[in-house]
Amino acid sequence: MPPLHFALPCLLFAASFASRASAQELELEARLGAPARPAEELQLLRATLRNRGDRPLEILLPEHLGLVPFPAWELRDESGRTVRPETPPFQSEWKLGLQGEVLKLAPGAEQSFDVETVVPPGRWRARCVLAQERAEVPWGKPGFREELRPWPTLWTGRVESASFTFEVAAYRAPRLELALPERVTLGGTCLATGSLLWPSAAGPRPARLALRVNLGSKARGSATAFFAWDGARWSPSPELHHGALPALDGERLPLALDLATALYERERGSAAKKSLERLELGELLDDGWFYASVSGVDQHGAVRFHGELTSSLEQAPSAAPSGLAIAVRASARGPRYLEFVLRNTSSTPRRIPADLGVPNHLGFALRFAEDPSATHWSVISDAEASHVRGTHVDPPSLAVLPRSLSWSSRAFERSSAAPTEVLLAPGSELTRTLDLRAFVHDPQRELDRALLVQAIWSNRRVGLESAAEPPLTIGVLVGAELSLPAIAR
């Protein structure tokens, strides 16, 4: 017999920020949009707005309606546990003008809005709320800037729906429940915690199991790592290794996976010639949102459960690493040749990537001396191509440097074959020379003027494969500006 649900008649509770009469013209009803579904499926929630007044109402709808839950929902079970529909990760282009849409609801008209969300087993009471405090709308401007603009005819106030109850049956299949912190900082843990549910209705558990993690971002693609039970914890495994499954606590197995401890494999190259590379988390991911999927694979290769989770990665620590300094100076080779110098200013050795020219370790910002407030120039590289290119970025900040300022080692004079890491002794330095003219299309027009140049060093590798001490230095350094005089012609 399918689980029962009950929709109660809607009661209106109104309390307006701006105009109480305005709020009472709008009615909000909450209900299920379809009969309650099994716990493994998404529940369909439906909110309906009705204009009970005698004049049209203008209601602000969010941008990306359908992906962004609207109105605000809250579900609470008998134990006090709450569930709120979340916005799924997605990417969109920047929009100028009104961010969202203004719905014009005529007298007597109604409009429904659906949202789907996972709801655990149990008996739930649900309601939704719509609040608009001020008669203002978000307005997109060039340069990814946003402001609030007056919209005098916009409905303002607050309405709450009556609550309704429904029941979600227990899981009948294995289910993975994992979560990541909202933000993860490179160099620390990336701990996914939760549990595996194996209800008795799902049948016997496999004797041996492995976990497969697919991790990536839209900008950088994805790669795969494996975890195996080593008798005490789930640890990274170089390949799909099936370990004995630990005992369940009832129908639940607690899980904790530190995704930062694994090396992630992906194939590169053409279809005719492929190579396999192994990347650490900081090399695989870029700043911002990333996704992960975790699957349980039995010894026969069958996927027994699957779960997905998302978080946001902060590549650089908020402070620069101690004991290092980055500087740029003019080179004797010519007026637009620069020497980048990384120096150990501390009294102890610092372990760093050996070659300052490899991607993501060295960058610069450039601006014209006569207009120092103008947009900076920086340089990035296409890792799959044989060229570098210039791009405009905002003035340097720790928030944007790691993803905006890097280039291929082809741009610099290369040293002879060297180890991937080097121990920089106190007072010693690494130096690389750069021909600034290689990065612009018209050197005479763009570089003859007086310039201000700033050096940036960053490292996002954690150094998992190296057990040496001290550990690899992580962080971002921004050097002082160097003034280059104009070139007389």
pLDDT, tens only, 296-341: 888 888 888 787 777 777 654 445 788 899 999 988 888 888 888 8
Q: Exposed e or buried b for every residue in 2-24, given b needs 16+ CB within 10 A?
A: eeebeeeebebebebeeeeebbb
d(CA 324, CA 410): 24
Task: Report pLDDT for 415.
Answer: 40
- Do 262 and 205 touch, CB atoms closer than 8 A? no
CB neighbours of 360 closer than 8 A, spacing ≥ 6? 283, 402, 406, 458, 459, 460
Task: Report pLDDT for 384.
Answer: 29
Task: Report pLDDT for 465.
Answer: 54
Give pTM, 2 decimals: 0.56
- Do 411 and 358 touch, CB atoms closer than 8 A? no
pLDDT, tens only, 40-91: 788 899 999 999 989 999 999 988 887 788 998 989 998 888 888 877 666 6
Task: Report pLDDT for 446.
Answer: 64
Distance of CA 402 to the CA centre of its chain: 14
d(CA 466, CA 127): 53
Task: Report pLDDT for 241.
Answer: 84
- Do 411 and 434 touch, CB atoms closer than 8 A? yes
CATH 3.40.640.10 fits 175-314, yes or no: no
d(CA 357, CA 342): 12
Task: Report pLDDT for 177.
Answer: 82
Distance of CA 79 to the CA centre of its chain: 32
**Ranges for all domains in the chain classified under CATH 2.60.40.2550:** 175-314
Alpha helices in 384-452 (DSSP H): 401-404, 443-447
Task: For the chain, state the CA radius of gyration.
Answer: 28
Q: Is 202 helix (H, G, I), strand (E, B) or coil?
A: helix
Q: Is 485 exposed, middle or buried (0-12, 13-18, 19+ CB in 10 A)?
A: exposed
Q: What is the DSSP letter of 43?
A: E
d(CA 357, CA 412): 6
CB neighbours of 139 closer than 8 A, spacing ≥ 6? 97, 98, 99, 146, 147, 148, 149
Average pLDDT of the residues of the chain: 76
Q: Is 63 exposed, middle or buried (0-12, 13-18, 19+ CB in 10 A)?
A: middle
Residues of the chain with pLDDT under 50: 1-21, 23, 316-318, 357-359, 375, 378-418
CATH 3.10.310.30 fits 5-168, yes or no: no
Name residue 197's beta-bridge partners: 175, 252
Task: Report pLDDT for 464.
Answer: 61
Fold of 324-484: Immunoglobulin-like (2.60.40)
Q: How long a stretch of residues is the chain? A: 489
